[in-house]
Amino acid sequence: MKKKYLLFDLDGTLTNPQEGITKSLQYALHHVGIEVEDLNTLNRHIGPPLIDGLKEFWNLNEEEIKEATVRYREYFKEKGIFMNLKYEGMDSFLEALVKEGEILILATSKPEKFAREIMEHFHLEGYFTDICGATLDDTRRKKGDIIAYALEKNGISDKEQAVMIGDRYHDIEGAKENGISSIGVLYGFGNKEELTEAGADAIVKDLKELKELLLG
């Protein structure tokens, strides 16, 4: 699947954000009267936009969602943002892509401000032409909208030359909405069944397989 423009998800694709996201959610839910002891039960939130996850999994009303969002970002900004691990071998993988002339663009549902800070913290920003994410006012939060924004911002009109790479069904569905190919990765937080049902054009188990697929 040789493409010129490679759009990458962040959480679960470039880095493992499990600790930071789940602890931020635990803090946020506490402030709307929900106590969560087992942080692993919050892994399902890794991938979807925050507001959508709060609606889907906790049935919160609008005021509770607003409060939980504020509290989540409060904790995440101060503590959770760098409770994050870069996947092993990521630098050499990205370096190989860039050396082959691929154009790398980040397309994440995380607020763009936080995404940029994370990319800089892990020294990943140098591999990427652009960093595209959600807005803090939530006017742009769904993956399909973020992919559309990334394509337009970077002047990508030939959609045959673009592919979205991510670990959750949101990445795959967002790619389909924009008429581009998609690759699901199994080392993140999604599973094969989820990615298959979403209609991923290809599914890989690790960075080695992903590199082989992208570079041929």
Q: Please, are residues 136 and 36 in contact by the beta-carbon 8 Å criterion?
A: no
Beta strand pairing status for 181-185 and 103-111?
unpaired
Average pLDDT estimate for 107-118 = 96
- The residue behind tokens 């030939």 is 158
pLDDT value at residue 138 = 85
What's at 53, amino acid-wise?
A: G
Mean pLDDT of the chain: 96
Q: How far apart are the first and last CA of the chain?
A: 7
Among the listed residues 41, 10, 9, 4, the one whose alpha carbon sits nearest the alpha carbon of residue 26: 41
Whether residue 106 has pLDDT greater than 90: yes
Question: pLDDT band for position 23 (50/70/90)?
Answer: very high
206 flagged as catalytic: no
| Global pTM value | 0.93
Q: And the tokens for 210?
A: 């992903």
Alpha-carbon gap, residue 32 to 211, rounded angstroms: 43
pLDDT bin (cut points 50, 70, 90) of residue 72 is very high
What is the per-residue pLDDT for 49? 84
In this prediction, residue 48 has a pLDDT band, given cuts at 50, 70 and 90, of confident
As given in the structure block, the two tokens for residue 44 are 């399902």
All structural domains of the chain, each given as residue ranges with its CATH number in brackets, are 5-16+85-215 (3.40.50.1000), 18-82 (1.10.150.240)
CA geometry: angle at 114 spanning 117 and 64, to 5°?
A: 160
Handedness of CA 160, 161, 162, 167 (dihedral sign): positive
